Amino acid sequence: MFSKILIANRGEIALRIMRACKELGISTVAIHSTADSDAMHVKLADESVCVGPPAAAESYLNIPQILAACEITGADAVHPGYGFLSENARFAEILQAHGVAFIGPTAEHISVMGDKIEAKKTAERLGIPVVPGSDGAVLNDNDGRRIAREIGYPVLVKAAAGGGGRGMKVARSADEIDDALATARAEALAAFGNDALYIEKYLGEPRHIEVQVLGDGKGGAIHLGERDCSLQRRHQKIWEEAPSPALNAQQRARIGDVVVKAMQGLGYAGAGTVEFLYENGEFYFIEMNTRLQVEHPVTEMVTGIDLVNEQIRIASGSPLTFAQEDITLEGCAIECRINAENPRTFMPSPGKISYYHPPGGLGVRVDSGVYQGYVIPPYYDSLIGKLIVHGRSRVETMMRLRRCLDEFVVDGIQTTIPLFRELVDNQDIANGMYSIRWLEDFLATA
Ligand code: MV4
């Protein structure tokens, strides 16, 4: 087992990872920018190293500085959290070359899943159902037109280097395909320096359902059920829940089984998430995330399993703590992302938290990196915390969530809490009847 872990992240996720380290008896090193000297993750770590100025490119993404911090402190492993360097294959490789373990999958698996065309080919080869579409990259505009005609309109043009919705264009008919290809290609080149495109049948109103997996890197893998992350705005999830209100036990077992077999075939190591669009009772693979995700706590609440603890054990070469038959899903968990933003416009709202009172009680978890008197810097993601509520049924969880939102006080800045107070009282949300389009429609009309 590792003796000292450097956490290459900030905010609530850095705290989350430190808690797992502490329970394993592992000492912790925080890194921080000059803007984060007063951040909670620095206060809670055993040691801390300043790695650069406020801009993430020069601090939290600064590989030479992070390597130096490992060397200075004698850290034997790095946990990257989410975002920043978490899906950077080169970072994983460089660490290993310097004798520091990367707490995550192999650089090879990060790299394969980072290329959405490679990821889709790999998924298909491993028996995962994919969205009907081009067989690999579109060669040129002629090829694109032919493929779109064969798939049948509407189609979606996607960037191989994309993800998170960037470089995507819908073509509703043959009239729109040339424009979609040209625009997507230009956007992909500008954003990623890679203009490779692929085409898929466009699904109109799917749900976003993702399956959590753990692999031991030796052909062993288990799944921990799914999360429904359909409630999002501009590809930013705001509400996630487990289990999905749209699935029954048979559907869950079927997709879980497919994903586990694929991860066993891949020899996947660590925590991963296989993302699907779900429409008319069918699952279609879109992407795989090779990191711990923001919304991992809802899975922890319904399974009772500490995913970060498992990640650390796996990276140190230990076997999985659980077999598939040990995994049972208990009740329902919902996560609300508390962002320092205007709850209507989503404009960032950094500044001083003049008063802070988080909710508590049975089935309540608040993962946050802030405290009363803390000044939220303007340089980073606006996520300041997550409210995760667990109950025996979805109805109980919703009642508890409403109570927690009433109890939660964050003064001095704007937050998304008032939006969640609306959602928890909405009939569609109460019924679990929502697709990936629901929130944007709601915001446009409410
Ligand atoms: C799609 C789709 C509809 N049809 N693919 C958006 C981000 C990227 N990860 C995949 N995305 C989508 N792919 C086909 N063939 C709709 C989306 C999509 C979406 C997916 C998941 C969650 C939210 C979304 C919001 C808009 C579009």
Q: Are 116 and 160 in contact (CB under 8 A)?
A: yes
Task: Tell me which of 291, 365, 394, 400 is the catalytic residue.
Answer: 291
434 in the same domain as 306: yes
137 in the same domain as 248: no
232 in the same domain as 174: no
Among 201, 228, 249, identify where a domain stops.
Answer: 201
193 in the same domain as 67: no
E strand spans, 17-112: 27-33, 47-52, 77-79, 101-102
Among 201, 228, 256, identify where a domain stops.
Answer: 201
How many A from CA of 371 to the centre of ligand 1? 35
Q: What is the pLDDT of residues 286-311, one digit of tens each?
A: 999 999 999 999 999 999 999 999 99
Q: Indicate the helix (H) or strand (E) that contains 122.
A: helix 116-125
Q: How confident is the model at residue 162 (pLDDT cuts 50, 70, 90)?
A: confident
Examine residue 124 and state whether it is found in any structural domain, yes or no. no
Residue with tokens 């964050």: 410
Length of the chain: 446
- What would the mean pLDDT of 81-110 be, rounded to a whole number? 98
Residue to substitute in 277, 284, 434 for testing ligand 1 pocket (most ligand atoms within 8 angstroms of CB): 277
User: Above pLDDT 90, what percent of the chain?
Assistant: 98
Indicate which CATH number applies to the domain containing 49: 3.40.50.20
How many A from CA of 412 to the centre of ligand 1? 35
User: Above pLDDT 70, what percent of the chain?
Assistant: 100
Q: Are 202 and 156 in contact (CB under 8 A)?
A: yes
162 in the same domain as 53: no
Structure tokens at 284: 């279609």
Ligand 1 atom, smallest distance to 201 CA: 15
Examine residue 413 and state whether it is found in any structural domain, yes or no. yes
DSSP string, 364-430: EEEEE---TT-EE-TTS-SEEEEEEEEESSHHHHHHHHHHHHHH-EEESS--SHHHHHHHHT-HHHH
Structure tokens at 325: 């038959």
pLDDT score of 167: 84
Indicate which CATH number applies to the domain containing 191: 3.30.1490.20
Q: How confident is the model at residue 264 (pLDDT cuts 50, 70, 90)?
A: very high
User: In terms of residue numbers, what domain contains 221?
Assistant: 207-445
How many A from CA of 284 to the centre of ligand 1? 11
158 in the same domain as 79: no
Residue nearest to atom 8 of ligand 1 (CA): 165
Structure tokens at 361: 């009680």
pLDDT at 164 over 80: no
Structure tokens at 399: 């009642």
163 lines ligand 1 (CB under 6 A): yes
Residue 346 is classified by DSSP as -
Structure tokens at 222: 């288990």
3-state secondary structure of 302: helix
pLDDT score of 178: 96
Examine residue 345 and state whether it is found in any structural domain, yes or no. yes
Split into its structural domains, the chain has a count of: 3
Q: Is 291 a catalytic residue?
A: yes
pLDDT at 343 over 80: yes
Examine residue 341 and state whether it is found in any structural domain, yes or no. yes
- What would the mean pLDDT of 195-210 be, rounded to a whole number? 97
How many A from CA of 329 to the centre of ligand 1? 27
Structure tokens at 176: 């729109």
Residue nearest to atom 20 of ligand 1 (CA): 208
Q: What is the pLDDT of residues 385-403, one digit of tens each?
A: 999 999 999 999 999 999 9
Examine residue 11 and state whether it is found in any structural domain, yes or no. yes
Examine residue 164 and state whether it is found in any structural domain, yes or no. yes
Decide: residue 323, CB within 10 A, 0-12 exposed, 13-18 middle, 19+ buried.
exposed
Rounded distance between C-alpha atoms, residue 265 and residue 121, angstroms: 14
410 in the same domain as 270: yes
How many A from CA of 434 to the centre of ligand 1? 15
Examine residue 115 and state whether it is found in any structural domain, yes or no. no
pLDDT score of 163: 76
- What would the mean pLDDT of 153-181 be, rounded to a whole number? 93
pLDDT score of 198: 97
Residue nearest to atom 17 of ligand 1 (CA): 165
196 in the same domain as 212: no
Examine residue 127 and state whether it is found in any structural domain, yes or no. no
233 lines ligand 1 (CB under 6 A): no
270 in the same domain as 240: yes
Residue nearest to atom 3 of ligand 1 (CA): 203
Indicate which CATH number applies to the domain containing 271: 3.30.470.20
176 in the same domain as 216: no
pLDDT at 69 over 90: yes
147 in the same domain as 97: no
Rounded distance between C-alpha atoms, residue 421 and residue 418, angstroms: 5
Rounded distance between C-alpha atoms, residue 333 and residue 228, angstroms: 11
pLDDT score of 446: 79
279 in the same domain as 375: yes
In terms of phi and psi (left: phi > 0; alpha: psi -120 to 50; beta: otherwise), the region of 412 is left
Helices (H), 267-412: 296-303, 307-315, 394-407
Among 168, 184, 201, identify where a domain stops.
Answer: 201
